[in-house]
Structure 1
Amino acid sequence: MKVKHWMIKEVIRISPEDTLGEALRLMREYSIRHLPVTEKDRLVGFLTESTLRQYVRPEDLSRRVREIMIVRPITVSPEATIEEAARLIYRHKIGGLPVVEGERLVGILTITDLLEAFIEFMGLLRASSRIDVIPRDPEGLEGVLDLIRAHGGKVISIGMEMEPTGEKIYHIRLEKMPLEALASALEVAGHRVVSLVE
């Protein structure tokens, strides 16, 4: 999944010569927490709600955006993967990334957009069932998937976590289906079913 498919393309932006009062007005009007600072289409800075919050006294609102903006913000390419963008946001503890091609602003990606991508990828809003399985051997996931298909199951997504013991638990989200017969077949085949969510 690429950033370009999840970014906001119609970006509310501000000029470095605008006032902090104007920035505050835009953030309130559009319910946003990030403002790319541009000259024409060229990204020159980034203004966040947390930075602006320090300057909301009436005497500060006439100051210029250029005085407090982040001058070299962390950015991402529209061709980057969602995973790369998520790592940047996590590593730098930030809430959003300007999306640029060269120096030209083409979008913005926020934590909310990442969450939407994750929810879509995991199929969390679709009617679904989930079965959590530890395969009988380390390479046994394919056998689990074969049994799922044999019982008419259609996989939406697969997540995996490692137990402290080194065992892998696979969280397999399926299109909505009854799970009891599938769980029994998995157990008979030597796989361990940890939980069912219907």
Structure 2
Amino acid sequence: MFNDAWMEDQGFTPRERHNDLRDLMTRRWDKGQVVTVGPEDTLLTAYKRMRISDVSQLPVMEGDRVIGILDESDLLLHVERNPTRFRDKVYTAMVNRLETLPVTAPMSELTRLFDRNLVAIIMDGDKFLGLLTRVDMLNHLRRQLG
């Protein structure tokens, strides 16, 4: 029920500080915490992973490389007129024009992406670190209360 990322986010275990965007991340790819799908997975698989993990978007991974994002809106638009399209592959509905942020970007860059209804794909050079969402930013700000 409670994973390490949740325990850390709730303040039950100490968080490692990096003084960059990693400090806002709840789930990290390099720690095996990011829920993902592959391009050949079905949309039903993606939907189930979203629900089980209580996330609204998934990075689409090919090995260690992020090649797309699938969010609830993408999924809904793809299946709303024909629910049998849940059997389609993720690559048919994912967004593959990605905007990334370096891990060293200022928080103002996050706000710029959020204002455009995008999720932040955080990179350390060419290595994918994870996603940052509005909820992650809110949790970070809440933790500053002590």
Could you say which residue in structure 1 is the equivalent of 2:117? 93
1:5 to 17, 23, 38: 23
The answer for unaligned runs of 5 or more in structure 2 is: 1-18
Residue aligning to 1:60: 85
- Distance (Å, rounded) in 1 between the aligned partners of 2:95 and 2:130: 17
Aligned counterparts of 2:83 and 2:117: Cα–Cα separation in 1? 29
Q: State whether structure 2 residue 16 is matched by structure 1 residue 16.
A: no
User: Where has structure 1 moved over 6 Å in runs of 4 or more?
Assistant: none
Q: How many residues align?
A: 121
- Secondary structure (helix, strand or coil) at the match of 2:87 reads coil
Q: How does 1:149-168 map to 2 (within 5 A)?
A: none
Cα offset, 1:77, TM superposition: 1.7
Taking only aligned residues, the RMSD between alpha carbons, in angstroms, comes to: 1.7
Q: Tell me which of 86, 105, 108 is aligned to 1:80.
A: 105
C-alpha distance in 1, partners of 2:125/2:66? 9
* Larger fraction in strand: 1
Report if the CA contact (8 A) 1:45-1:70 is conserved: yes
* Structure 1 residue ranges without an equivalent (≥5): 127-198
TM-score, normalised to structure 2, is 0.74
SS in 2 for 1:43: strand
Amino acid of the structure 2 residue aligned with 1:73:
L
> Cα offset for 1:46?
0.5
Q: Give the superposition deviation at 1:103.
A: 4.1
Give the share of equivalent positions with the same residue, in percent: 31
Displacement of 1:83? 2.4
Q: Which structure shows the higher helix fraction?
A: 2
SS of match in other structure, 1:61? helix
1:120-176, CA deviations, whole angstroms, 9 ceiling, x for partnerless residues?
Answer: 34x3xx5xxxxxxxxxxxxxxxxxxxxxxxxxxxxxxxxxxxxxxxxxxxxxxxxxx
The structure whose Rg is larger is 1
Assess if the C-alpha contact under 8 Å between 1:86 and 1:114 holds in 2.
Answer: no
CA drift of 1:86 comes to: 1.8
1:120–1:87 Cα change, 3 Å: farther
